[in-house]
Amino acid sequence: MIGVGKMKQYTNVLDKPLSKGKQEVSLSAFAFLFSELVQYNQTQVDNIAELERRLEDAGYAVGARVLELLCHRDKGNRRETRLLGILSFVHSTVWKVLFGKVADSLEKGTEHEDEYMISEKELLVNRFISVPKDMGTFNCGAFVAGIVRGVLDSAGFPAVVTAHFVPMEGQQRPRTTILIKFAEEVLRREARLG
Amino acid sequence: MAPLAPRSGDAIFANVERVNAELFTLTYGAMVRQLLTDLEEVEEVNKQLDQMGYNIGIRLIDEFLAKSNVSRCVDFKESADVIAKVGFKMFLGITATVTNWDADGTSCSLVLEDNPLVDFVELPDTCQGLYYCNVLSGVIRGALEMVSMKTEVTWVRDMLRGDDAYELRVKLLKQVPEEYPYKDDE
């Protein structure tokens, strides 16, 4: 019949076969959507910290679902239980699926045992964003920080995750570093596991 | 002679930068959930989504015209075709079918052949009045307004609400004559 879409109807979303995750949309479509997300949240807050928190919350919702999706689809319902395992899962697997590439670097903080950093020269969400001077250190990467926190937290690695611009020598644009500070209990557990 | 308008957006879509549709889907979902928490009323969320779509549409049309090589459409029928085959493809990687024209050619339906917004989505009982994809109708309305067409875009069928397809009704309200924003002698 003319005018009937090719999509099949399912009574329950869980009956629907899981897509392989190869579908794509244009980067512009995502950039437009993300811009609306940021602009909307700007109307709901009166300071930068609050705005970052709200973007982080939105990201968290994405991260929690990404963990579930990827563990189910790619890892046969298993997930990482060790600190380095989950970090490399975020740095490689999650990044690759969401942003099409592994993150530029994953480093351990030099000053604190509980800190790790994932850095990206040009974070996807910051591609088309320039932060006005009066908004100080605001970084839309808060959304990605939220995704990382969502993945870690849901996998049993609670952490505080923040996004920062780090100026790079010889580069016009700063890179974005996602700073992960794990909760005490995570490190204690890790030490016990040896 | 003006270059022939493309009948399909495949080539353009293949050439633009793309991102994983799941990132897009999940981000949209996170946004809708935020709106539901903030605004509480489903009706308000519908309005806000439409407004966001409109904001996107009035900007998206520039990119569309710049990249698609589409020249002026002769009538509303051609416009609808171009949206369905080139517009949807270029941004979302999907196409739509144009159908159900009314007698005077001023309103038609766009039936989506796929919908990247709704993967993983199920509406809970409290959100039955939600037009989850309302952002799309806003985009079309906003984009067409920038090329002198006032339209009304509404959902006729929505699979999340139990229908058998995603169908948008686009109704041309008024063709606004093009005018310079200033007079020659000013």
For A49-68, the pLDDT digits (tens) are 999 999 999 999 999 999 99
Residue A167 has pLDDT above 80, yes or no: yes
Contact B22 A23 (CB under 8 A): yes
pLDDT mean over B144-167: 95
Q: Name which of B20, B56, B99 is nearest A36 (Cβ-Cβ).
A: B56
Nearest to B87 by CA among B53, B54, B60, B51: B60
Beta strands B18-20 and A24-26, pairing class: antiparallel
Task: Give me the pLDDT at residue B6, please.
Answer: 62
Residue B102 has pLDDT above 70, yes or no: yes
Residue A3 has pLDDT above 50, yes or no: no
Q: Name which of B19, B60, B120 is nearest A24 (Cβ-Cβ).
A: B19
Residue A6 has pLDDT above 80, yes or no: no
Residue with tokens 């996170």: B30
Reduce the DSSP state of residue B94 to 3 states and report it: coil
Task: Give me the pLDDT at residue B182, please.
Answer: 67
Task: Give me the pLDDT at residue B4, please.
Answer: 54
Task: Give me the pLDDT at residue B178, please.
Answer: 75
- CB-based contact B27:A150 (threshold 8 Å): no
What is the residue-averaged pLDDT of chain B?
Answer: 92
CATH superfamily, domain B19-175, is: Trafficking protein particle complex subunit 3 (3.30.1380.20)
Contact B122 A12 (CB under 8 A): yes
pLDDT mean over B77-88: 95
In whole angstroms, give the CA distance from residue A164 to residue A178: 6
Q: Name which of B24, B90, B109 is nearest A33 (Cβ-Cβ).
A: B24
Percent of chain A with pLDDT over 90: 75
Task: Give me the pLDDT at residue A179, please.
Answer: 97
Contact A40 B48 (CB under 8 A): yes
For A16-53, the pLDDT digits (tens) are 888 888 899 999 999 999 999 999 999 999 999 999 99
Task: Give me the pLDDT at residue B129, please.
Answer: 94
Task: Give me the pLDDT at residue B2, please.
Answer: 47
The ranges assigned to domains in chain B are 19-175
pLDDT mean over B123-135: 94
- CB-based contact B80:B106 (threshold 8 Å): no
Percent of chain B with pLDDT over 90: 83
pLDDT mean over A93-119: 95
In whole angstroms, give the CA distance from residue A57 to residue A80: 23
Q: Name which of B97, B112, B121 is nearest A13 (Cβ-Cβ).
A: B121
In whole angstroms, give the CA distance from residue A166 to residue A145: 15
Disruptive mutation site among B19, B55, B58, B123 for chain A (greatest number of A CBs within 10 Å): B19
Give Dmax (Cα) for chain A. Answer: 66
- Work out the minimum CA distance from B69 to partner chain A, whole angstroms: 17
Confidence of residue B79 (pLDDT cuts 50, 70, 90): very high
What chain A holds in terms of domains, given with CATH numbers, is 27-193 (3.30.1380.20)
- Work out the minimum CA distance from B185 to partner chain A, whole angstroms: 38
Residue of A nearest to B18 (CA): A26
Reduce the DSSP state of residue B120 to 3 states and report it: coil
In whole angstroms, give the CA distance from residue A189 to residue A179: 21
Burial letters B25-63, b for 16+ CB under 10 A, else e: bbbbbbbbebbbeeeeebeebbbbbbbbbbbbbbbbbeb
pTM: 0.92
Contact B24 A12 (CB under 8 A): no
User: Is pLDDT larger for residue B2 or for residue A61?
Assistant: A61
Distance of CA B99 to the CA centre of its chain: 16
pLDDT mean over A89-107: 96
For B31-63, the pLDDT digits (tens) are 999 999 999 999 999 999 999 999 999 999 999
